[in-house]
Amino acid sequence: MQENPVVYLVGAGPGDPELLTAKALRLINEADVIVYDRLVSPRIMDLAPSGTPKINVGKQPKLHPVPQEEINQLLVSLAHDGRRVVRLKGGDPFLFGRGSEEAAYLRQHNVAFEVVPGVTSASACAAAVGIPLTHRGLSNGVRYVTGHCCDTSDLDLDWRGLADPATTLVLYMGKANIPQISIKLIANGLSETTPVAAICNGTRPEQRHIVSTLGEISGATSTADFKGPVLFIVGRVVELADILGVAAPEIRPASPLKERRRA
């Protein structure tokens, strides 16, 4: 217990325990209680001491058993009890992780906090399949976009700006909306032959990914029947997966769809 409690907003990375930062691992071992999300892998949770209380507040698409407001209140309550609280999030807490919302709530309630960055899925999953997010002559920038909206309305994104062939587009949480996303990007000028990779459970033993095109990625993803979080990478850099993706053996279904499983 602490006289001056601190809530640690900790990034757990994409799932591979070896991609945890040293600081994240230390805090997990020192925590009085861990409040964790669905995207934190079981192998990372297994690193916590067996006696540490663990509270699952994970969300799934269209299913939020613990609303964000209740999570915010829980963090404040645990801190006021004098506990060393680790709020463990998949990836990085400040990149589509609602970490900033929780930090703002803690600040409003006079609870100290510290943000511990984590390896985000974009860089980790891309590296796991041999895709650089930038490459001279292919991509001179990267844009990170959420493919998920809070309700059933259409995604309200800068589609014309996103349809830039010189930029790599990384889509988080886009599995459900990939048909709409593909149509919008093509309608705003991005070629339907633009390469796309869809990576499921990136960096984990059950990792799978497919390489297709913008015009066919929706059907390809549906056929693959992915179980788990999916990250999409759109852009010419995806072409380099055949050259740089040497870490895992390939399974090659009929063109244009390619599916690979992690060794």
Q: What's the average model confidence in pLDDT over 130-137? A: 96
pLDDT at 4: 75
In the predicted model, what is the mean pLDDT of the chain? 89
One-character DSSP codes across 135-152: BTTTBS-EEEEE---SSS
List, for residues 47-88, the tens digit of each pLDDT value. 999 999 999 998 665 555 789 999 999 999 999 999 999 999
C-alpha 170/C-alpha 147 separation (Å) is 9
Query: How sure is the predictor about 246, in pLDDT bands with cuts at 50, 70 and 90?
Result: low
Q: What is the pLDDT of residues 79-125, one digit of tens each?
A: 999 999 999 999 999 999 899 999 999 999 999 999 999 999 999 99
pLDDT of residue 97: 87
What pLDDT is recorded for position 149? 62
- C-alpha–C-alpha distance, residues 22 and 168, integer Å: 30
CATH architecture of 121-261: 2-Layer Sandwich (3.30)
**d(C-alpha 210, C-alpha 125), whole Å:** 12
What Cα–Cα distance (Å) separates residue 86 from each residue in 11, 92, 112? 10, 14, 12
By annotation, the residues acting in catalysis are 37, 59
Higher pLDDT, 21 or 152: 21
How many CB atoms neighbour CB 186 within 10 A? Answer: 17
Beta-strand pair 142-146/168-172:
parallel
Nearest CA to 46 out of 1, 88, 109 is that of 88
Quote the pLDDT of residue 242.
Answer: 86
> In this structure, what token pair is assigned to residue 232?
């999409």
User: CA 162 to CA 203: how far, in whole Å?
Assistant: 26
pLDDT confidence of 136, banded at 50, 70, 90? very high
**Amino acid making up residue 68:** Q
Residues ≥6 apart with Cβ < 8 Å to 120? 11, 13, 14, 91, 92, 95
Q: What digits encode the pLDDT tens for the residues 161-198?
A: 999 999 999 999 999 999 999 999 999 999 999 999 99
Report whether pLDDT(255) > 60. Answer: no
Q: Where do the CATH 3.40.1010.10 domains begin and end in the chain?
A: 6-116
Superfamily of domain 6-116: Tetrapyrrole methylase, N-terminal domain (3.40.1010.10)
pTM score, two decimals?
0.87
What's the confidence (pLDDT) of residue 57?
A: 95
Residues of the chain with CATH 3.30.950.10: 121-261
pLDDT cut 70: percent of the chain above it: 88
Check residue 54 and give its pLDDT: 97
